[in-house]
Chain A
Amino acid sequence: MAAPTLDKKWIGYLISLFSIAAMSVGLKLLGAHINATTVALALLLDVLFIATRWGSVPALVASVLAMLCFNFFFLPPFGTFTISAPDNWIALAAFLITAITAGQLSAHAKRRAEEAESGRREIERLYAELRGAFERASHAEALKQSEKLKSALLDAVTHDLRTPLTSIKASITTLLDEARGRRNGEQPVTLDPESKVEMMEVIDEESDRLNRFISGLIEMARIEAGDLQLRRHWGAVDEIISTALLRAEPVTRGHRMELGIEKELPVVRVDERAVSEVVYTLVENAAKYSPKGSTIRITAQRAGDGLIKMAVEDRGEGIPAELRERVFDKFFRATRDGDIKTLEPAGTGMGLAIAKGIVEAHNGRIWIENGSAGGTRVAFTLPIGDEDAAEPSEQSFSDRIRRP
């Protein structure tokens, strides 16, 4: 590092020598057209230039050199270092003092500017370093969080798979005991026909539950991978709702269903199967989490700006405001993970997460609001949807053939 600095210093001196000499020669060539003051100012300018560019010592050298040249070439008698007129002595002294002072001042200013610049650069470097460190730390934190989340999800999944499996295993081994005529101590194992049917019902229902859970997982994975293939067609809202209600009939049998569908709703361009799934999920939840015999109200209306708003409302206990966002999280169950303790958790914890995925894939929004009678109202909006009709649809070829 020392060698280049030294070189640079010598270059500074050389440039000082050369530029003052060149300036003096140039000015001399102009000859009679310029007076001593112009010469002094020109040389002073040169000194300032050297000071700002090369620093204080070359500027000092340049000042002395400029003074000598000024004396030799421009103060009479020319070509000598002697000065005849006393006022020229004063002029020369004034020139020297001005040149040195201005040169030193501007070199000093330059140094300060350089120091400020290097300070700024140092701060920038530290900032970048700090930011890098923060980024690395937050990356590590994010990794840790995601690992934590993964293991929490794994726990939830294994719990949800194992619970129905436990019932199935206990049922089937009970049936086997009886079929094999096993004896419990002295007593033969006795299962009346009713109990046998009950065991088989449990196996049947719990296998369905496992299957629902697995389908949910697959659907969930598709939504998360952004792989939800919407098959949009123009369809009627009341048809979508009635399909969902028909499917939900076994779970809503004990409830009073009430419909409030606005007259002359426009048709909507949606994936009817998927939207019907959303309505089904909401109705099923409403039935599950509200007392038997209570009313479940389903509404659909225009919500301005090319939107349709649908809502399912129950007369259950409602969902506390602080859980209203979280219920849309995957595997979250208010009855298990929240503070709602009075109802048994029977769901998969995926219904609302999937519903949200479907609604958002349609560019809609889903949320929870207060029901008019204190229960839960889950509402969602869907664009009526012709603005993207021009885009190549995700329909499969066979689909288009079947539905011209």
Chain B
Amino acid sequence: MNDKPRILVVDDEAQLTRVLRTGLKSHGYDVRTAADGISAFDTFKDWNPNLVITDLAMPNMNGLELCRQLRTISQVPIIVLSAKGEEKTKIEALDLGADDFVTKPFGIDELLARVRASLRRAATQVATEVTPAILQAGDFRINLEARNVTVREREVHLTPKEFDLLTYFMKHSGKVLTHRTLLAALWGGNYVEQNEYLRVFVGNLRKKLETDPHGPRYILTEPWIGYRFNPHGT
């Protein structure tokens, strides 16, 4: 029985899937590849991989549709490969439930870092589902019942909305969260265009959590896209 993490790589560029298969295998992953969304979806159902890496522009069901379809049956981490100029599609993919993105061209290390982060996040997510009252990761500990938060062993006082935002960040740590996703999750669907709400609350949270609010280590800005929370600090 093979206990290596299984990664499904989906791209219509044969050369790239060839490289990624070899590259990821050499780093200890079990890899399968698919050239389009439809065969990827079939492979996913048969093989149940731990992570999916997919290109966005593909024939026979593109990356967006694949994300949508995968989310109907699984919470598997998805990393999308995008190129500059595909920003809109990339954000759409993240809104549809993709976890992270890597911009082409990329070095294998960058991809591996994202792969590790996504796999780790998936693992902690499983753990928090077992004990939902306490969320603990990195420098953070959140007691959902008592509604208190400690950062670096020190308790901080948050307003109810700030508490909700931090909790959401904790539950999705490491994942790129688009403005739209955060607004919809915290304020509801009518507020998805109100980026300034978010900016204010993120600013307040940073003041309370970060050692240097102007050089944040926990709540990182993904320019034009949204935020990524790293409980360990960068």
The residue that A199 contacts in the complex, of B22, B109, B116, with Cβ under 8 A, is B22
Task: Give the residues in chain A near B13, CB-CB below 8 Å.
Answer: 163, 166-167, 344
Q: How far is the CA of A162 from the CA of B36 in the complex (A)?
A: 19
Q: From B27, B35, B116, name the one whose CB has the most chain A CB atoms within 10 angstroms.
A: B27
The residue that B16 contacts in the complex, of A170, A182, A189, A195, with Cβ under 8 A, is A170
Q: Which stretch in B100-108, B123-131, B137-145 binds the other chain?
A: B100-108
The residue that B104 contacts in the complex, of A166, A177, A178, with Cβ under 8 A, is A166
Q: Which stretch in A85-93, A267-275, A335-343, A349-357 binds the other chain?
A: A335-343
Q: How far is the CA of A342 from the CA of B39 in the complex (A)?
A: 12
- Residue A165 is within 8 A (CB to CB) of chain B in the complex: yes
- Residue B171 is within 8 A (CB to CB) of chain A in the complex: no
Task: Give the residues in chain B near A198, CB-CB below 8 Å.
Answer: 18, 22
Task: Give the residues in chain B near A346, CB-CB below 8 Å.
Answer: 14
Closest beta carbon of chain B to A254's beta carbon, Å: 15
A-contact 0/1 string along B44-85, CB 8 Å cutoff: 000000000000010110000000000000000000000111
Main secondary structure of the interface of A (DSSP, over half): helix
Closest beta carbon of chain A to B196's beta carbon, Å: 31
Q: How far is the CA of A187 from the CA of B4 in the complex (A)?
A: 12
- Residue B26 is within 8 A (CB to CB) of chain A in the complex: yes
Q: Name the residue of chain B whose CB is nearest to the CB of A169.
A: B105
Task: Give the residues in chain B near A173, CB-CB below 8 Å.
Answer: 23, 107-109
Task: Give the residues in chain B near A341, CB-CB below 8 Å.
Answer: 36, 59-60
CB-CB contacts below 8 Å: A167-226 with B: 167-171, 173-174, 177-178, 182, 184-185, 187, 189-191, 195, 198-199, 202, 205-206
- Residue A345 is within 8 A (CB to CB) of chain B in the complex: yes
B60–A162 CB distance below 8 A: no
Interface residues contributed by chain B, number (CB under 8 Å):
31
A189–B85 CB distance below 8 A: no
- Known A159-B83, A162-B83, A170-B19; judge A184-B107 contact (CB<8 A): no
A-contact 0/1 string along B150-167, CB 8 Å cutoff: 000000000000000000
A-contact 0/1 string along B15-35, CB 8 Å cutoff: 110111011011110000001
- Residue A385 is within 8 A (CB to CB) of chain B in the complex: no
Q: How far is the CA of A187 from the CA of B24 in the complex (A)?
A: 12
Q: How far is the CA of A155 from the CA of B88 in the complex (A)?
A: 14
- Residue B186 is within 8 A (CB to CB) of chain A in the complex: no
Q: How far is the CA of A162 from the CA of B102 in the complex (A)?
A: 14
A174–B12 CB distance below 8 A: no
Task: Give the residues in chain A near B59, CB-CB below 8 Å.
Answer: 335-336, 341-342, 344-345
- Residue A164 is within 8 A (CB to CB) of chain B in the complex: yes
The residue that A177 contacts in the complex, of B19, B25, B108, with Cβ under 8 A, is B108
The residue that B106 contacts in the complex, of A158, A169, A344, with Cβ under 8 A, is A169
B-contact 0/1 string along A308-346, CB 8 Å cutoff: 000000000000000000000000000110000110111
The residue that B27 contacts in the complex, of A163, A171, A184, with Cβ under 8 A, is A184
B85–A155 CB distance below 8 A: yes
- Residue B185 is within 8 A (CB to CB) of chain A in the complex: no
- Known A159-B83, A341-B59; judge A202-B27 contact (CB<8 A): no
A164–B15 CB distance below 8 A: yes
Q: How far is the CA of A182 from the CA of B112 in the complex (A)?
A: 12
Task: Give the residues in chain A near B60, CB-CB below 8 Å.
Answer: 341-342
Task: Give the residues in chain A near B116, CB-CB below 8 Å.
Answer: 185
B26–A190 CB distance below 8 A: yes
Q: How far is the CA of A170 from the CA of B107 in the complex (A)?
A: 5
Task: Give the residues in chain A near B36, CB-CB below 8 Å.
Answer: 341
Q: From A155, A159, A178, name the one whose CB has the most chain B CB atoms within 10 angstroms.
A: A159
Q: B interface vs A, CB < 8 Å?
A: 12-16, 18-20, 22-23, 25-28, 35-36, 57, 59-60, 83-85, 104-109, 111-112, 116
**10 intermolecular pairs with C-beta atoms under 8 Å apart:** A158-B83, A166-B105, A168-B105, A170-B105, A173-B23, A187-B27, A191-B26, A199-B19, A199-B23, A206-B15
Q: A interface vs B, CB < 8 Å?
A: 155, 158-159, 162-171, 173-174, 177-178, 182, 184-185, 187, 189-191, 195, 198-199, 202, 205-206, 335-336, 341-342, 344-346
Q: Nearest 3 CB-CB pairs, A to B?
A: A173-B107, A174-B23, A341-B59
